[in-house]
Amino acid sequence: MRTMFVAGNWKMNLNHADGTHLATHLAHHRASAAASHVEIAVIPPVIYLQAIHKVINGTHLKLGAQNCWYEKHGAFTGEISVQMLRECGVQYVLAGHSERRHICNEHDGLINKKVQAIIAEDLTAVLCVGETGDQRKAYKTVEVVGEQLAKGLAHVNKRAVEQDQLVIAYEPVWAIGTGVNAKPEEAQEVHVFIRQQLAKLFGNDDAANVRIVYGGSVKANNAYEILRQPDVDGALVGGASLIADEFLGIVDAAARARPLAL
């Protein structure tokens, strides 16, 4: 059974004091005793990674980074290498988040280089895919997501999948920060398609073990119905991750949606 994964992407929010306070609260409180089997990560701005790592080191929380560069070192002003992130205690790194794609104009080729660099350093890549509202209205969800997967995972080998170094995050762009989330059955439908594409790349057995999480206006009051879908393995949470009770409520929903097998 795939372990539920809930990650909070803080984006460009919170200052040092508020971030460490939130991390401290999360490190000492679980949503419920039943949620002990849910894997939880916080993904703060890069400037606070070391501070947050000090707070959560040795606890159940994992640390993630929002972005990286694919070269190990060099004249890349303003960029952060995967090696630097690893030294900060990072275990997960996002690649291809929709805001990086659509605001920063990152293309699939660049995203693929980042995915490969993350995996090469034995960290876990969280590849984000998803369609815009216009693309969905034009019935291009499958085409868009399929292309993002194929190009984003080019040259990624089965070993990385076997070692749990890959998570896919389906984040429909039209649902991010809008308060409108995909209906549970809509999320499940796309997650099934993603798993089918993974099977073509890595085989059925490995595809069955890859965690595919949903992102897009996930909150404590809507998380359970989405997370109880059989191919939804957690959530990549944006705004709700900045509020401790909201985020813990989503973790609790994940635990209830997929109870620990006895």
**CA gyration radius, the chain:** 17
Place of tokens 């595919």: 212
pLDDT (tens place) for every residue of the chain, 262 residues total: 899 999 999 999 999 999 999 999 999 987 765 678 899 999 999 999 999 999 999 999 999 999 999 999 999 999 999 999 999 999 999 999 999 999 999 999 999 999 999 999 999 999 999 999 999 999 999 999 999 999 999 999 999 999 999 999 999 998 877 777 789 999 999 999 999 999 999 999 999 999 999 998 899 999 999 999 999 999 999 999 999 999 999 999 999 999 875 3
Q: List helix spans (H) across the chain.
A: 16-28, 49-56, 82-87, 98-102, 108-120, 133-137, 141-152, 158-162, 184-202, 204-209, 223-227, 244-257
Instruction: Please state, in angstroms and rounded to a whole number, the distance separating the CA atoms of residues 45 and 19.
Output: 9
Instruction: Please state, in angstroms and rounded to a whole number, the distance separating the CA atoms of residues 208 and 119.
Output: 19
The model's pTM: 0.96
> What does the block give as tokens for 227?
């997370």
Determine the Cα angle at 92 with ends 91 and 94, to 5°. 155
Domains of the chain: 5-245+252-257 (3.20.20.70)
Q: Would you please indicate which residues are annotated as catalytic (active-site) residues?
A: 97, 171
